[in-house]
Amino acid sequence: MGKGLIHSKDDDVCVVVADVKQGEEVVCSSIEDPRYTVVIKAINDIPLGHKIALRKIGEGNDVKKYGRSIGVATKEISLGEHVHVHNIKSKRWGKR
């Protein structure tokens, strides 16, 4: 297993299960199908438990985890970028 977990093949993000350094390749494995993996190069340091973008996400677009939207991108998010409160607004805790 790699350093990341994907909850659903439709997800936009992978949760890292160990600290990741900028430039490091992160192997993200699917929980649904362990044969499905994605390798992404991190463009930022990403702490344990935070998310890395599996694809480019446009500003204002939904961000999917668990196969459903967990929030909206507050700015464009690049492939391999750290995804957290600095670039995503939760739908659960307030209006955008």
| Segment 24-36, tens digit of pLDDT | 999 999 998 888 9
Q: What is the pLDDT of residue 96?
A: 43
Q: Are 74 and 89 in contact (CB under 8 A)?
A: yes
The pair of three-digit structure tokens given for residue 24, joined into one six-digit string: 């490091």
Does the pTM exceed 0.95? no
The CATH architecture assigned to 4-90 reads Roll (2.30)
| Structure confidence by residue, pLDDT tens digits, 35-84 | 899 999 999 999 999 999 999 999 999 999 999 999 999 999 999 999 99
DSSP state of 3: S
41 or 95: which leads in pLDDT: 41
